[in-house]
Structure 1
Amino acid sequence: MTRAKKAAPRTRSSSARTQSKSVNRIGRSLRALVITAITSFGAATYLLNPHWRPQFSLDQILSYLPRPASQEQTAPIAKPTGAMVQTTFVSCPQFFPDGKLPAVPASQGLRELCFSAFAVLHSGQTKTPVFVAERLNRKTLSQAQGLQRTDKFYADARLPKAERSDLDDYKGSGFSRGHMAPAGDMSTKEAMAQSFSLANMVPQDQTHNAGPWSRIEQDTRKYVMHAAGDVYVFTGPVYAEKPKTIGFGVAIPSYIYKVVYDATTGRSWVHWQANAASTKAGPPIDYAEFVRRTGMQLLPASQH
């Protein structure tokens, strides 16, 4: 079993984004040149020979040219192969029950990030979290009540540039920057500010984010306020084999989950919702079903 990397500050930026922009500019320029040439040739030919008809359509010719990247492009996501990655989270083990750290299916670019109120396992392949872990209790949520949102989103500089999402990726996408660790859970000003790291975000349907998913977050806080002790919460995305993307390769999840584990009672349940405007509130699934669907082992072995 391999181990996930711990994210560290990087000084060297990748050229992947620059190369992608260059390819898009070349593609657009080439298409514009072809369109102009074909239009000019067609107009001149028609003046000389009004009965002439082209043998190929403009669409047929353009189909052979590269297309600029768009929101509808897809990014291949490797299926789990059975190999597992054991996380370590050396700097923030407090966010995991009984010190038992999660294991997840292996994939490229897994990095661990520790914040003051949550921990993130980040995927450089999807440019989003694999999961975000929190430890909540009545005391922390009482401190969170009334704390003002900052709404200052930012790209996380601890991640390599080629593996992270940026503010421009979400502009004009039609998707919300969906918190995995909610701002409403944050108990200090520092934690509130950190919760707006894009490493804590996924592209989320706006209607779903503001509706059914918001109610799940509120109901989870209500449960924690009545719980006897710590409640551990894991939140994250689930992707189709080839998910659509926004911006420069930020994958759009098909589903979003929230695993809730009461360490005092041993109870656990999982909210599992489609990332879509049509999603309605429904009953949670059990943890064993979640493991079967995702291959992720987030809770202590006794919960399997």
Structure 2
Amino acid sequence: MQISRIAISLLLASALSPALAAQTDCPQHYAGGQAPDLLKPAMQQGARPLCFSAFGVVHSAVSRTPLWSAEYLTPARVAKAATLERKDSFHEEERLPEAERAELEDYRASGYDRGHLSPNHDMPDLQAQAESFSLANIVPQAPWANRGQWGDLEEAVRKRVKAGRSLHVISGPMFEGSQLAQLDGRVLVPSAMFKLVCDLQARQLVAFVLSNELRPAATPRYQQVSLVELERRLGMTLLPGVPEAAAFGKLVLPGTSTASR
């Protein structure tokens, strides 16, 4: 099912307004203590910041998905996460008004996975693990991506952290093009996904984009893109607390040698 023209125009509006800093009560999850800035008026509409114990999000009433989920991974945190067994507990986010949030029913028989942004396997304790299954941290994701290359990127980040680096990670959906699907007439389906990984101490970062096409003719490969290009496409400033971030060197993650653009 295709989304209405009104919703498309709200989401894809390219005109930029003065940046709206996403207020946050959990600066510990963000590089430089600041959440991304929203530049598109459409994204500013109905944007609600939410804090969880191990990650922070901004949720959109327009898409009924998060616009991003941010986490700070340390070797100690990842070591703790490795001791926990996965316990699925997907649930609606009760802090959001019913009219603005996704419901479990929206995903039923949709063909899409309930895809984590901040992944369950990054969560250091049972509370954080349960919170990661909130639909405020979930987007509709093509199964081949969620269970394949997206998961590969998540694991590559953890391997880098296990090697002794602390990393800031921002993951989120991208809504591009004029034909956007929706679940149950309510939840927008991303056209692609992005992941930004930043090592502040080493002054390095890397950004990835992965298609979210449900049934691609051939399995796409995630691409590395520059921070400048990613921010332009999203209509966000992803690292406002790190003004010099665009000049950072390239962060290399294990097993992620791909073409760059």
TM class by shorter chain equals 0.7 to 0.9
Query: Where do 1:248-263 residues align within 5 Å?
Result: 248-263=185-200
Question: Max radius of gyration: which structure?
Answer: 1
- In the alignment, the residues of structure 2 paired with residue 262 and residue 86 of structure 1 have an alpha-carbon distance, to the nearest angstrom, of 22
- In the alignment, the residues of structure 1 paired with residue 37 and residue 61 of structure 2 have an alpha-carbon distance, to the nearest angstrom, of 17
Q: Which secondary structure state, in structure 2, belongs to the residue aligned with residue 284 of structure 1?
A: strand
Query: Where do 1:169-248 residues align within 5 Å?
Result: 169-228=106-165, 230-240=166-176, 241-248=178-185
Q: CA deviation at 1:242?
A: 4.8
2:35 corresponds to 1:101: yes
Q: Cα deviation per residue 1:215-269 (whole Å; 9 max; x = unaligned)? A: 11111111122243x3100000011345210124100000100000011111111
Count matched residues. 231
Q: Which secondary structure state, in structure 2, belongs to the residue aligned with residue 209 of structure 1?
A: helix
2:70 corresponds to 1:133: yes
**Percent identity of paired positions between Structure 1 and Structure 2:** 35
Structure 1, 270-279 or 206-215: larger mean CA deviation: 270-279
- In the alignment, the residues of structure 2 paired with residue 282 and residue 227 of structure 1 have an alpha-carbon distance, to the nearest angstrom, of 25
Task: Mark the CA change 1:294 to 1:168 in structure 2 (over 3 Å): closer, same or farther.
Answer: same
Query: Where do 1:107-126 residues align within 5 Å?
Result: 107=42, 108-126=45-63
Quick check: which one's helix share is greater?
A: 1
Corresponding residue number in structure 1 for 2:96:
159
- In the alignment, the residues of structure 2 paired with residue 298 and residue 284 of structure 1 have an alpha-carbon distance, to the nearest angstrom, of 16
Q: Cα deviation per residue 1:114-149 (whole Å; 9 max; x = unaligned)? A: 000000100000000111000001110000003011
Q: Cα deviation per residue 1:167-219 (whole Å; 9 max; x = unaligned)? A: 00001111100000100100100000000000111111111110111111111
2:253 corresponds to 1:287: no
User: Following TM superposition, where does structure 1 have runs of at least 4 consecutive aligned residues deviating by more than 3 angstroms?
Assistant: 277-283
* One-letter amino acid matched to 1:146: T
Task: Mark the CA change 1:199 to 1:101 in structure 2 (over 3 Å): closer, same or farther.
Answer: closer
Q: CA deviation at 1:104?
A: 1.3
| Structure 1 unmatched ranges of 5 or more | 1-71
- In the alignment, the residues of structure 2 paired with residue 161 and residue 282 of structure 1 have an alpha-carbon distance, to the nearest angstrom, of 34
Structure 1, 207-216 or 98-107: larger mean CA deviation: 98-107
Q: Which secondary structure state, in structure 2, belongs to the residue aligned with residue 190 of structure 1?
A: helix
Task: Mark the CA change 1:158 to 1:223 in structure 2 (over 3 Å): closer, same or farther.
Answer: same
* One-letter amino acid matched to 2:30: F
Q: Which secondary structure state, in structure 2, belongs to the residue aligned with residue 211 of structure 1?
A: helix
* One-letter amino acid matched to 1:188: D
Please give the root-mean-square deviation of Cα atoms over the aligned residues, in Å. Answer: 1.4
Matched-pair contact (CA < 8 Å) for 1:212–1:280:
no
Matched-pair contact (CA < 8 Å) for 1:268–1:286:
no
Corresponding residue number in structure 2 for 1:35:
none
Matched-pair contact (CA < 8 Å) for 2:149–2:222:
no
Corresponding residue number in structure 1 for 2:23:
88
Matched-pair contact (CA < 8 Å) for 2:3–2:185:
no
Corresponding residue number in structure 2 for 1:74:
3
- In the alignment, the residues of structure 1 paired with residue 149 and residue 133 of structure 2 have an alpha-carbon distance, to the nearest angstrom, of 21
- In the alignment, the residues of structure 2 paired with residue 242 and residue 249 of structure 1 have an alpha-carbon distance, to the nearest angstrom, of 15
Q: CA deviation at 1:80?
A: 3.3
* One-letter amino acid matched to 2:20: V
- In the alignment, the residues of structure 1 paired with residue 35 and residue 3 of structure 2 have an alpha-carbon distance, to the nearest angstrom, of 32
